[in-house]
């Protein structure tokens, strides 16, 4: 197959995709077609992985009792996180909506197999973190592919990861990386919710690039 | 601005982009326009970051002495990594080209500021790794945006990260994440080099998705 040439029109639309990709916490409850989810997962697995190790493990969480346990896990972790802030910042934190667990039709837990065999250890002797980072790039691939379908993804990181393996009945040595909500967003936005809510702003990019 | 609607044509081309993105180690020495590099970096900084923390720090490595020190660092780390394999696997490892440091016109070191202030700690109390993972997603964004320009990116992970901060004269508390080569690739390919070389194969995706 000849290599595709990506043109300016595609690049402009890709830039729009990056611009309009959001961490979504406001979902409609409409279902997402199972075949679409499978297609997105296949795309996510085109992500780079160190030594072609493909250490990603995807768990579709469907049973209501499991989802409720994750919601309770979030609630406890978020209460502990909220207790860290004081004064006006505490008020602002309490007003933030930080997950859409109850509305999102698809729950996806993502793990890394820390010793996957595949890849034979190549590329990760000096920087072992690259194994987990491969899973992170697959999640990011899923995120972009989902947005291109009009789907929103929200990464719930305010969770105690320790109980997730037994809760989801997966091998104890897998490393929990992410708990993702996937569904149709209530609205599109070109600004992160945390920016809209006045929690944080975009940094000027110039200050983050150095020459040596 | 109205939200863009991404159509099937765009999604197909995005799928091609994911399919043809490679970790590149064979570069032409032709220069890359500095304005293009800056544009790619701006796009990379549209990546998601936990709490909008934007912890990425980008260092364009231009001085020849610094580049040579990185090459020497790779050579030592790769010799140590090679010593781990035996027999036929050792022969195959030795035959792999694992970096394009000498040819690539652009060298980019990427760090995470582990305590950036921005984001006020939101979202990373229970899963602190999300800070570094934000930088990884920015690198992946750069990778895709570069490929859409016809540029190749290679992530050199076979490096001892410890000396990088002083070598590149950046704050000692920054965490080294990646050393990237960027340039025009010798050729396009739809298969990872490690697959072409018989080091590892793609795993069947079905075996990596679970339902609970």
Residues B22 and B193: beta-carbon distance below 8 Å: yes
CB contact under 8 A, A81 and B126: yes
- List of chain A residues whose C-beta atoms are within 8 Å of the C-beta of residue B191: none
Q: Taking CB atoms and an 8 Å limit, are B14 and A145 in contact across chains?
A: yes
Bridge partner list, A154: A181
pLDDT digits (tens, 9 = 90+) for A98-125: 999 999 999 999 999 999 989 899 999 9
What pLDDT, on a 0 to 100 scale, did the predictor assign at position A40?
A: 98
Nearest-angstrom CA–CA distance, B130 and B112: 11
Domains of chain B: 23-186 (3.40.109.10)
- Token pair 């006020």: residue: B120
Say if residue A201's pLDDT is above 90. Answer: yes
pLDDT surpassing 90 at residue A45 = yes
Tell me the per-residue pLDDT of B53-100, one tens digit each, with 9 for 90 and over.
Answer: 999 999 999 999 999 999 999 999 999 999 999 999 999 999 999 999
Q: Do the Cβ atoms of B41 and A209 come within 8 Å? A: yes
- Chain B partners of A126 at a C-beta cutoff of 8 Å? 77, 80-81, 157-161
User: Which residues of chain B register pLDDT less than 50?
Assistant: none
- Rounded distance, CA A129 to CA B157, Å? 10
Give the span between the Cα atoms of B12 and A17, in whole angstroms. 14
Provide φ and ψ at A74, rounded to 5°. Answer: -60, -45
Q: Does ipTM exceed 0.90?
A: yes
How would residue A2 be classed by pLDDT, with cut points 50, 70 and 90? confident
Residues of A in contact with B212 (CB under 8 A): 59-63, 66, 168-170
**Residues in chain A closer than 8 A to B158 (CB atoms):** 123, 125-127
Least confident of A58-67, A113-122, A124-133, A177-186: A113-122
Give the pLDDT score at A59. Answer: 98
SS3 content of chain A, % helix, strand, coil (to 5): 40, 15, 45
Tokens standing for residue B59: 């260092």
* Cα(B24)–Cα(B191) distance, integer angstroms: 11
Question: Could B126 and A210 be called an inter-chain contact, meaning their C-beta atoms sit closer than 8 Å?
Answer: no
Task: Give the A:B interface size as CB pairs under 8 Å.
Answer: 277
Predicted confidence band of residue A1 (pLDDT cuts 50, 70, 90): confident
In this predicted structure, which of A28-37, A136-145, A197-206, B6-15 has the lowest mean pLDDT? A197-206
Q: Where are the beta strands (DSSP E) in A10-169?
A: 56-61, 106-112, 152-156
CA dist B122 and B115 (Å) reads 12
Q: For chain A, give the mean pLDDT.
A: 96
User: What's the burial of B169, exposed, middle or buried (CB within 10 Å: 0-12/13-18/19+)?
Assistant: exposed
Q: What pLDDT is attached to residue B2?
A: 84
Residue-by-residue DSSP string for B15-75: HHHHHH--B---B------HHHHHHHHHHHTTS--GGG---EEEEEE--HHHHHHHHHHHH
B contacts of A98 (beta carbons < 8 Å): 123
Mean pLDDT value of segment A28-51: 97
- Specify the pTM: 0.97
B113-124 per-position pLDDT tens digit: 999 989 899 999
Question: Looking at the DSSP assignment, which residues form a beta bridge with residue B60?
Answer: A211, B108
Of A137, A158, A200, the CB nearest to B119: A200
Pairing of strands B56-61, A209-211: parallel
Q: What confidence score (pLDDT) does residue B4 get?
A: 93
DSSP H/E element including A148? helix A130-148
pLDDT for the residue numbered A117: 87
Triad B167, B168, B169: Cα angle to 5°: 95
């Amino acid at each position: 197959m000849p290599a595709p040439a990506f043109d300016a029109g595609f690049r402009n639309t890709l830039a729009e995709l990056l611009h309009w990709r959001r961490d979504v916490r406001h979902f409609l409850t409409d279902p997402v077609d199972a075949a679409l989810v499978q297609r997105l997962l296949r795309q996510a697995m085109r992500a780079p992985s160190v030594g072609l190790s493909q250490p990603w493990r995807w768990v579709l969480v469907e049973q209501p009792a499991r989802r409720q346990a994750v919601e309770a896990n979030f609630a406890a972790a978020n209460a502990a996180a909220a207790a860290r802030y004081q004064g006006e910042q505490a008020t602002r934190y309490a007003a933030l909506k930080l997950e859409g667990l109850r509305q999102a039709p698809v729950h996806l837990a993502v793990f890394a197999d820390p010793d996957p065999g595949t890849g034979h250890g190549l590329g990760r002797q000096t920087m072992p973190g690259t194994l987990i980072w491969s899973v992170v790039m697959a999640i990011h691939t899923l995120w972009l592919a989902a947005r291109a379908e009009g789907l929103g993804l929200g990464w719930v990181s305010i969770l105690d990861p320790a109980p997730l393996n037994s809760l989801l009945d997966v091998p104890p040595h897998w490393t929990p990386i992410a708990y993702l909500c996937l569904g149709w967003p209530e609205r599109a936005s070109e600004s992160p919710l945390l920016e809209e809510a006045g929690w944080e702003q975009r940094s000027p990019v110039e200050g983050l690039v150095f020459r040596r």
